[in-house]
Amino acid sequence: MSAPIRSEYRVVIVGAGVIGLYTAYHLARAGFGPVLVVDRGFLSSGASGRNGGGVRQQWETRATIRLARESVLAYRRFARDFGVNPWFRQSGYLFLAENETELERLRHVHEIVAGEGLPSEILDGSRVARLVPGITPTAAVGGTYLRTDGTLYPFPVVWGLYEAVRSMGVEVLLGAEALGVRSADGRLTGVATTRGTVATRTCVNAAGGWSRDFSERAGLTVANAPTRHEILATEPLKPFLDPMVVRARDGLYFSQTMRGEIVGGISPATRQPLTSAMASSPAFLARMASALVRVLPSLASVGVLRAWSGLYDDTPDGLPVLGEDPRLRGFVHANGFGGHGMMLAPSSTARVARMILGERVDLDPAEFGPRRFDLGQPRRFTEALQLG
Amino acid sequence: MTNGRKGRRRLPILQRSIRYHRPRAPFCGIGYCTNCLVRTDQRLNVRACREGFPTEGIRSTSHAWPSPRHDLWGLLDLLFPRGIDTLRGFRRPAWAAPVYQRIVRSLAGYDTPERVAPPPVPRPPRVCSTDVLVIGSGTSGTAAVDELRTRGVDSVVVLDRDRAANDGAMPGRTTAIFLPPPIPRAAYPFRVLASEGSDRAVLVSSRRVIVATGGYDASLLFPGNDRPGVMTADGAFSFERAGLEPFRRAIAFGGGDRALEVVEKFGDRLIAVVAPGEIGPDLARAASDWAIPLYPRSLILGAGGRSRLRSIQIRARSFGPKQTLHADALVLAHRRIPHAQLFFQAGARMVWRSRIGGYLPAVDARGATSVPGLYAIGSGAGAVGPDASRESGRTAARALIEGAEPGVDLTPPASTEPFYEMQGYYRELLAEHEGFAKWIACPCEDILLRELRRASEAGYEGIEVIKRYTGLGTGLCQGRYCVPDAVLLLSIWEGRPPTEVGSITQRPPLVPTTLGQLAELEVPLSTPEASG
């Protein structure tokens, strides 16, 4: 087990998932280093290797739409920029509305999204049926569709970033857990890991589902709450379904991957205890199967190949936490993505990196800042379109 | 197709591989590999071997054109002798990305649900609760059930994938697919999901569980190792039972008890016994009865023949001479791997056993695992031979009645066991050459050995990462036929023991289970605890 090469780093990033590696990438591109990334697990062992690969731009908050839009552009270029192909496929996201009330709500989102200049569309039942061949007629009276949303394979994104940052001199230590921080006078001075303690004045908490743990190890109470979500994949089928199909009511989502598997999840019926962090549950298999078969009855004859679970790093308002914690100078949050880390990573980490470089960014601290959940602060933004 | 010697059908070519459309004939015979996927009128991706290879009512899947025997897409295999790199390739020019996507995507998948009739409404699930659930009714499972009955335990449910259970509680062919960790303090801590046929789900709540799922025969890596005619011993027995003619002149590969079974059954049709190591005295004696030549300590270097196996090239280990043996089948009987997936699912502590080159649950002398109430018996728990299997079943049944807690003497890490034979075998084989023909490291997904090697050279380590990087082990056999060998190879390349290369998480379900079946379980599973 190797130890960090240096005793001091300009930035230590905790978490080698898509958020941590992308942050390292942006820092390295700006010539800011040396940077050390530590992760307790193996590459892609966390949510970056466990998500459904959706990249959407349909959100209720304008700032998030802008972040997502930039991420879509980044993923379009990803294969060329990083030499690894995540097969980003822009075949749209379709939100289903089961009744007029839901359609009304989607219409409201549509107006915000269209207001940002994106080609969002309102579809009636028959157009939904054309996009989702075989859909139960009662499953949707209509929906919203944004054709430039898409899906990708999460793993190649991790490989591409890993190889890129290492070639730029970033040190990535896998199987190394961050145990806590060293500080003096409210300023971060170092990070303790299972491979030894290193000195640094900047530490990025990009630990995803474990970010709450790490913040607490740094003595900071945070509002993040890790929750377990599950996914299943079916046997590969000949391609018949293009868009990612989602339903806001129960968080059902599913798409057909490049390999032909139907991959999807659904929100748990009850909040999941964390004791079984990475296990699958029989209840999920049944709940997801039931929801899927009701929407697409022909899938009843299709076999489920495997199911797995991962952690969402949820926040009370459904928006990520980005930026330095005023209680501990040098401790930077890049977490709380609530299951949307993959889709928001390229753009949001670019801003985190700029904050570390001391530049101004276009993020409102009231919307993304670490202290926005403090008592007395009125909640100005919430993002309700959470899935899975 | 019925021109066999005894008028029997030869092994049909029912399938083309998913990526390179290589011809594939039935291989495992026990319903795990993808080589006999067909569709029926109501179901996709049915394994013909599980249906006894019917001649009617099944159709080939729709990804080969015009047929699996003559598939134009097979050109892909010839055009890309070194494989297609979907990870690094198809990136430029930018404008072509959507075109690449359309082409690659159109090649995905075996079949489409629209081609089958709307599925019948699944039968309502079978839900029951019991004192003891026994999974597997082979030698050890049957012994355990008999012992339980003798001692007055009547509340026993038996699940078996192949046989009708001896108590009639389950009608047979009920596969346990998911054994989650027990729910602490519940009256019935174990809630086991199972699948009966393909249209009915089963939910058994049990106080205790005995797992007796035995093992299966491993695959083997060499250039052209997926050629029709290469099959496991499981497969050879199963094809023979189904009334097919599995081969006319075959080579058995293996030097131990399993190879002996092959010789005893097929002695008249074997032309050689080749073994990676020494050949046991019993096997040598049986082979000499049939005058079958023996080739101990030999490497399989490659396969001849295009659409069917015609020959096998071997070489005595330590740089002996090369030879070509002409045969239409290679029967793999060199290594039996325990079915340990349920123990992984249940969260039992697992131990790497060098002797078998696989993971077994850690058990105490009575068969108790580290999970309270979960017992492991038979060959899947390390018992060797039928007598030991029976004894392990009886012992576990008695321990269970006495309410034994898991012992403190759970199998210690087996560091003193001999170095696993196949590791040295592969080290020598890889030093020889990596061959021009494709080595199929993962047959379900058509992943090549070359891809594994490249991933390893790029600095990716451990089976969990290699699985995600290459896609190995993500296919329909759930990693059964690719992961065991991949772990050995990685262990060689990474220069560390197999335990550090790791194991892949066994993700439920154990075998593909239809969404229709699983959907029926929503109501029973939403109750906090199933009652009788």
pLDDT of B319 strictly over 80: yes
pLDDT, one tens digit per residue, over B271-307 is 999 999 999 999 999 999 999 999 999 999 999 998 8
Q: Is A208 left (phi over 0), alpha (psi -120 to 50) or beta?
A: left
Work out the minimum CA distance from A368 to partner chain B, whole angstroms: 32
Handedness of CA A263, A266, A267, A272 (dihedral sign): negative
d(CA B447, CA B468): 12
A1-89+149-224+315-388 is a CATH 3.30.420.40 domain: no
- Choose the mutation target among A155, A281, A298, A301 for the interface with B, i.e. most B CBs under 10 Å: A301
Q: What is the rounded CA–CA span in Å between residue A360 and residue A354?
A: 7
Q: Do B109 and A234 make contact, defined as CB atoms within 8 angstroms? A: no
Counted residue by residue, chain A has a size of 388
- Dihedral of alpha carbons B232, B237, B240, B242, sign: negative
Task: Compare all CA atoms of chain B with the CA of A284 and give the residue at the minimum distance.
Answer: B522
Is the per-residue pLDDT at B12 higher than 60? Answer: yes
Strands A203-205 and A11-14: parallel
Q: Which residue has the higher pLDDT, B466 or B526?
A: B466
More confident residue, B419 or B458: B458
CB contact under 8 A, A290 and B518: yes
- Taking CA–CA distances from B42, the nearest residue in chain A reads A301
Residues 6+ apart with CB under 8 A from A345: A18, A19, A22, A71, A157
A288 to chain B: nearest residue by CA? B519
pLDDT, position B4? 44
CA dihedral sign, ordered A36, A41, A42, A45: negative
Question: Do residue B181 and residue A276 have CB atoms under 8 angstroms apart?
Answer: yes
Residue spans per domain, chain B: 15-115, 126-216+337-401, 219-334
Residues of B whose CB is below 8 A from A258: 101, 104-105, 108
- The amino acid at residue A39 is D
Asked if B44 and A239 come within 8 Å (Cβ–Cβ), the reply is no
pLDDT band for position B527 (cuts 50, 70, 90): low
B263 contact partners, CB below 8 Å, separation of at least 6:
B252, B270, B273, B283, B286, B287, B290, B292
Residues B139-153: what's their mean pLDDT?
94
| Cβ contacts of A209-215, under 8 Å, gap ≥ 24 | A209/A46, A209/A47, A209/A277, A209/A310, A209/A311, A209/A312, A209/A313, A210/A15, A210/A40, A210/A46, A210/A311, A211/A15, A211/A313, A211/A333, A211/A335, A211/A336, A212/A313, A214/A14, A214/A178, A215/A325, A215/A331, A215/A333
- Return the CATH superfamily for domain A90-148+226-313: D-Amino Acid Oxidase, subunit A, domain 2 (3.30.9.10)
Residue B3 banded pLDDT, cuts 50, 70, 90: very low
Tokens of B293: 């030549």
Interface test with A, best of B518, B520, B521, B527 (most A CBs within 10 A): B518
Strand A150-151 and strand A142-146: the pairing is unpaired
H-helix or E-strand spanning residue B283? helix B281-289
In three-state secondary structure terms, A382 is: coil
Model pLDDT, residue B356: 80
Q: Do A236 and B191 touch (CB under 8 A)?
A: no
ipTM of the complex as predicted: 0.93
Tell me which residue in B112, B476, B516 faces A240 most closely, judged by beta carbons.
B112
CB A20 within 8 A of CB A204: yes
Q: Do the domains B219-334 and B126-216+337-401 match in fold?
A: yes
The answer on pLDDT for B5 being more than 70 is: no
- Taking the C-alpha atoms of residue B104 and residue B516, their distance in angstroms, rounded to an integer, is 29
Other beta carbons within 10 Å of A189: 15
CA separation for the pair A283, B523 (Å, rounded) = 9
Q: How far apart are CA A332 and CA B181, in angstroms?
A: 38
Candidates A219, A316, A210, A298; CA nearest to A262 is A298
How many Å apart are CA A230 and CA B500, to the nearest integer? 27
**Number of C-beta neighbours around residue B51 at 10 A:** 16
Q: Name, in order, each residue with C-beta under 8 angstroms of B381's C-beta and a sequence gap of 6 or more.
A: B140, B211, B212, B338, B360, B361, B363, B367, B392
Domain ranges of chain A: 1-89+149-224+315-388, 90-148+226-313
Minimal CA separation from B132 to chain A, in Å: 20
Angle at the Cα of B353 from the Cα atoms of B347 and B357, rounded to 5 degrees: 105
pLDDT value of position A146 = 97
Please report, as a single letter, which amino acid is at residue B445.
Answer: E
Nearest to B17 by CA among B4, B36, B44: B36
Q: What is the pLDDT of residue A379?
A: 60
Quick one: pLDDT at residue B417?
53
What's residue A388's pLDDT? 62
Angle B463-470/A154-167 helices, nearest 10 degrees?
Answer: 110
∠ CA B302-B304-B306, nearest 5°, is: 125
Tell me, what DSSP letter sits at residue B182? P
Q: Are strands A35-39 and A11-14 parallel, antiparallel or unpaired?
A: parallel
User: Which fold, B126-216+337-401?
Assistant: FAD/NAD(P)-binding domain (3.50.50)
The larger pLDDT score, comparing residue B415 to residue A172, is at: A172
Model confidence band, residue B532 (pLDDT cutoffs 50, 70, 90): very low
Rounded mean pLDDT, B377-393: 91
Tell me what the pLDDT averaged over chain B comes to: 89
Residue A151 in tokens:
């899906």
Residue B373 CA to residue B193 CA, distance in Å, equals 17
The predicted structure's pLDDT at residue A174: 95
| Residues of chain A below pLDDT 70 | 1, 271-278, 375-386, 388
Whether residues B512 and A305 touch (CB distance < 8 A) is answered with yes
Q: Give A83→chain B minimum CA distance, Å.
A: 6
**B89 chain-A contacts, CB cut-off 8 A:** 85
Query: What gap in Å lies between CA A90 and CA A71, rounded to an integer?
Result: 12
H or E element, residue B391: helix B385-401
CB B333 within 8 A of CB B252: yes
Q: Do A159 and B105 touch (CB under 8 A)?
A: no
Show Cβ contacts of residue B79 under 8 Å, excluding neighbours closer than 6 positions. Answer: none
pLDDT value of position A337? 96
The CB density around residue B137, as the number of other CB atoms within 10 Å, is: 24
Q: How far apart are the first and last CA of chain A?
A: 37
Yes or no, beta carbons of A235 and B522 under 8 Å apart: no
B93 to A71, A88, A254, B86, B96: CA distances (angstroms): 21, 15, 30, 15, 6
Nearest-CB residue to B525 (from A237, A286, A299): A286
The runs of H, that is alpha helices, within B402-509 are 421-432, 449-457, 463-470, 483-494, 498-501
Q: How far apart are CA A113 and CA B400, in angstroms?
A: 62
Position A276 scores a pLDDT of 47
Long-range pairs of B494-497 with CB within 8 A, sequence gap ≥ 24: B494/B456, B494/B461, B494/B462, B497/B352
Question: Do the domains A90-148+226-313 and A1-89+149-224+315-388 match in fold?
Answer: no
Instruction: Specify the pLDDT at position A37.
Output: 98
Q: Which amino acid is at B317?
A: R
Q: What is the mean pLDDT of residues B46-59?
A: 88
Count CB pairs under 8 A between chains A and B: 193
Alpha carbon A84 to its chain centroid, in Å, reads: 20
Looking at residue B354, its pLDDT comes to 80
* CB within 8 Å: A281 and B180: yes
User: Which tokens sit at A324?
Assistant: 């330095």
CATH fold of B219-334 reads FAD/NAD(P)-binding domain (3.50.50)
B432 φ, ψ (degrees, to nearest 5):
-60, -60
H helices present in chain A, as ranges:
18-29, 62-82, 100-115, 125-131, 154-167, 211-217, 282-295, 341-356, 365-368
| Chain A residues with CB-CB distance to B42 below 8 A | 301
The predicted structure's pLDDT at residue A114: 96
A128: closest CA of chain B, how far (Å)? 18
Q: What is the pLDDT of residues B197-253, one digit of tens each?
A: 877 899 999 999 999 999 999 999 999 999 999 999 999 999 999 999 999 999 999
| In the predicted structure, residue B414 carries a pLDDT above the cut 70 | no
State residue B91's pLDDT score.
87
